[in-house]
Amino acid sequence: MPYTSRFDDALVYASDLHREQTRKGSDIPYVPHLLGVAALVGEAGGSEDQVIAALLHDAVEDQGGLLVLDEIRRRFGGAVSEMVKSCTDSVETPKPPWRPRKEKYVAHVAEAEPDALLVSIADKLYNSRTILLSLRSEGEAVWDRFSGKRDGSLWYYRALVTAFRARGHWLDLVDELDRTVAAMEEIAGES
């Protein structure tokens, strides 16, 4: 089924929100990440609401907290705002310490709604693929971009694979995430 003008509005809104943002430790604009996550969600059979949530999944965390969540609810509805909220690991500024925040997010996966899980899995798959490509081209220096560094980042992605698999949804994407994380671990000497 074709997307409605809500998708168009979400695309413009996401681009406006993230226009000045770049990917961690790079000059790469952030918007392609949002488009990539949305593409994974759409290609997995996600609904228009899920694709919109994918476009907006980092808006609350990175671009304004609860005020942005309220605006998302107003513009795109409760289902989208709940998925975005579920994908958000912190609305606080400054963010809480990295490891407890990530542990809380991994635990949250056990109770997240399946619609939001698709968005989260797609986000983590996109991120892990980006890390893997950077590891192959730049080597171990890539870990310096991340608060969790090498060991924390590998722990986080492996813990997410386990948590997502336990939920039993979107297993093709979880399998791809697992393969990507295994390749990261192999390069890092963790296999």
Catalytic sites, residue numbers:
61-62
CA angle 114, 179, 11 (to 5 degrees): 50
DSSP string, 127-190: HHHHHHHHHHHHGGGGGGGSTTHHHHHHHHHHHHHHHHHHHTSSHHHHHHHHHHHHHHHHHTT-
CA angle 21, 65, 79 (to 5 degrees): 105
Strand partners, 60: none
